[in-house]
Amino acid sequence: MIDGTLGGPVDQEYLLQARQMQALSLGVHILIVCFGIAFPAMVLFLEGLWLRTGDPVYKAVAKRWSKAMIILFACGVVTGTILSFELGLLWPEFMATFGDVFGLAFGLEGFSFFMEAIFIAIYVYGWDRLPPRVHLACGAPIIIAGMTGALFVISVNGWMNKPEGFDIRDGEVVNVRPWEALFNDNFWHEFVHMYLAGIIVAGFIVAAVYAAGWLRGNRERRHRVGLVVALSFAALAAPAQLLVGDWAARTVAENQPTKLAVFEGLGPTEDGAPLHILGIYEDGEVKYGIELPKLLSLLAYHDPDARVQGLDAVSADDRPSDTGINIVRLAFQAMVFIGSGLAAIGVVFLWTWWRRRRLPQSPWFYRALVVAGPLSYVALLCGWITTEVGRQPWVVYEVMRTEDAVTGADGIPLGYGALVVVYLGLAGIAAVMLRRLARKPLEV
């Protein structure tokens, strides 16, 4: 156990609200992050096509998308600023005690953010002002910085789930090894999982916008180009995500067996543990679910008879509450279900494109795409709920409890309410801006 360097636990009546507030801010920011990850690559791909073929439609779409990109990036700057504050405002004891262990990653992320801000500005404002090849080259740092930025933030989350790079002596953090904390065991799989998720979410949301237009009859070449490029990114990433998800689940099984047990709601430790679809976790077991025998063992260890540690291996204080377990189960299954659906859409598209050299013709394909956009975001949120609620009651897994990390300051409900209003306002503004942008005639 650890004593916080600010003086240990405080009474905080609104711990749950503080958690929700943090989740809200992360949930808003992560959507924008997806566009930060994937949009620059899509835009650059289009610009590259333009430079190769000289076809002005590619350039027009790239230019249009780059303007949407900078609107979303501006939203990302302000929501990212709020997040940096919030980590301290809500979790001062966590930051005070472990800031020196995991902070290096955020320092590196800060530089990534800087590079992104600089080159997005040069890129978007530099259309037709810089020589074409220089302009194209300015896009590369945006892609790289988007990748490294995500990498370093994910590293911190990975560390919270597998805390490394320090020792605890007499309740104090000693012998800090920041590089070890940075490159923790969860670093790679969480990063790849999130990076692909970013491509999937941004790709499917952009594709959904074009699919809606398609159903309304907008089928000119520029719409077709927009649809195909966005959908290609998403369609390639979605099936790959299934494999990465498997990797992630096996890593959780190894590093955080209790968390894996939460995914299923597995009460006692079992050989050949089943997986229940739907149902409710109650009194140490899943009721009313559809049982698929041995599936959990198979998924977690690639062996149908493998032993899976149950929830009862740790005391009730050291695992999520029953409500938490049910939230995680639902979120986990929703993520897997939606993710599989997205992969199926991706395969249909890729197959049709490859074998028949054309887009699918059925309106149902486009209706599915319209739904897939928002659902991909839902799946992303479900994934984060799975990992974050599944980590409870720990903020630093098995080292510091969330309740010991929270602020002693008053006013959390007020701040929470204010933030909800502000985010709704921001969402409204972003929506208005993007709509206006979409209605402007395309400039070449």
Site for another protein in 42-71 (CB under 8 A): 67, 70-71
**Contacting range for another protein; rule: CB under 8 A; set: 50-58, 73-81, 242-250, 351-359:** 73-81
Q: Determine if 148 is a binding residue for another protein (CB under 8 A).
A: no
Span 205-224, contacts to another protein by CB under 8 A: none
Q: Determine if 113 is a binding residue for another protein (CB under 8 A).
A: yes
Least separation, in Å, of the C-beta of 146 and another protein? 14
Span 155-184, contacts to another protein by CB under 8 A: 176-179
Indicate the residue among 374 and 411 with the shorter CB distance to another protein.
411
Among 15, 96, 242, 295, binds another protein (CB under 8 A): 96
Among 27, 48, 99, 304, binds another protein (CB under 8 A): 99
Least separation, in Å, of the C-beta of 320 and another protein? 24
Among 29, 44, 47, 109, binds another protein (CB under 8 A): 109
CB 63 within 8 A of CB 49: no
Among 221, 287, 302, 436, binds another protein (CB under 8 A): 436
**Contacting range for another protein; rule: CB under 8 A; set: 4-12, 202-210, 267-275, 363-371:** 4-12
Indicate the residue among 97 and 376 with the shorter CB distance to another protein.
97
Least separation, in Å, of the C-beta of 70 and another protein? 7
Q: Determine if 433 is a binding residue for another protein (CB under 8 A).
A: yes
Least separation, in Å, of the C-beta of 214 and another protein? 26
Among 27, 103, 267, 393, binds another protein (CB under 8 A): 103
Span 123-142, contacts to another protein by CB under 8 A: 124-127, 129-130, 141
CB 98 within 8 A of CB 178: no
Q: Determine if 388 is a binding residue for another protein (CB under 8 A).
A: no
Query: Distance (Å, rounded) from C-alpha 427 to C-alpha 434?
Result: 11
Among 74, 277, 330, 348, binds another protein (CB under 8 A): 74
CB 255 within 8 A of CB 162: yes
User: Alpha carbon of 201 to those of 240, 321, 401: distances in Å?
Assistant: 14, 30, 32
Least separation, in Å, of the C-beta of 318 and another protein? 23
Q: Determine if 408 is a binding residue for another protein (CB under 8 A).
A: yes
Indicate the residue among 110 and 171 with the shorter CB distance to another protein.
110
Indicate the residue among 74 and 359 with the shorter CB distance to another protein.
74
Q: Determine if 95 is a binding residue for another protein (CB under 8 A).
A: yes
- Cα radius of gyration rounded to whole Å, the chain: 23
Backbone angles phi, psi at 396, to 5 degrees: -115, 115
Span 328-387, contacts to another protein by CB under 8 A: none
Question: Does the N-terminal peptide bond of residue 374 adopt cis geometry, omega within 30 degrees of 0?
Answer: no
Q: Determine if 425 is a binding residue for another protein (CB under 8 A).
A: yes
Q: Determine if 247 is a binding residue for another protein (CB under 8 A).
A: no
Query: Distance (Å, rounded) from C-alpha 287 to C-alpha 279?
Result: 5
Q: Which residue has the tokens 């959780």?
A: 252
Dihedral sign, CA of 214, 218, 224, 228? negative
Among 13, 55, 56, 111, binds another protein (CB under 8 A): 111
Tell me, by CB under 8 A, how many residues bind another protein.
Answer: 79
Indicate the residue among 82 and 240 with the shorter CB distance to another protein.
82
**Contacting range for another protein; rule: CB under 8 A; set: 109-117, 187-195, 268-276, 317-325:** 109-117
Span 267-306, contacts to another protein by CB under 8 A: none
